[in-house]
């Protein structure tokens, strides 16, 4: 896992052709808005989370976020243990995100 600041996350993501944005928040949190292009898999689903993650391409670079950065750090560690190539945690999470947001109308 590599911890990225908001700015580093945006810059790296723009240039990454193998990126996958993973939102590990709850559905209620996602309803308040999300980063465009992200896929939501709630880390609180435990084994359900692991089962869903196993369907993903291990060669992609995973940009993972939650509300504050704690759950996404856990998710990065889980993906790292499962053999995923690269995981990036969004420091400060969605509550500090100042980029584009969808779904918060």
| Domain chopping of the chain, boundaries | 2-96
Structure tokens at 94: 């969605």
Q: Is the dihedral of CA 56, 20, 12, 90 positive or negative?
A: negative
Neighbours of 29 (CB within 10 A): 18
Rounded to an integer, the average pLDDT of 22-29 is 97
Share of the chain above pLDDT 70, in %: 98
> Which residues make Cβ contacts (< 8 Å) with residue 34, sequence separation at least 6?
23, 40, 94, 101, 102, 103
Q: Supply the residues annotated as catalytic.
A: 66
Band of pLDDT at residue 28, cut at 50, 70 and 90: very high
pLDDT digits (tens, 9 = 90+) for 76-91: 999 999 999 899 999 9
CATH class of 2-96: alpha beta
With a cut of 90, say whether residue 105 has pLDDT above it.
Answer: no
Query: Rounded mean pLDDT of the chain?
Result: 95
């Amino acid at each position: 896992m590599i911890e990225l600041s908001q700015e580093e996350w945006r810059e790296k993501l723009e240039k990454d052709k193998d990126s996958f944005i993973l939102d590990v928040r709850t559905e209620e949190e996602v309803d308040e808005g999300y980063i465009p292009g992200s896929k939501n898999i709630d880390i609180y689903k435990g084994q359900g989370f692991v089962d869903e993650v196993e369907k993903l391409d291990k060669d992609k670079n995973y940009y993972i976020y939650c509300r504050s950065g704690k759950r996404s750090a856990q998710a990065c560690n889980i993906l790292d243990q499962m053999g995923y190539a690269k995981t990036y945690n969004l420091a400060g999470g969605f509550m500090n995100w100042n980029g584009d947001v969808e779904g918060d109308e």
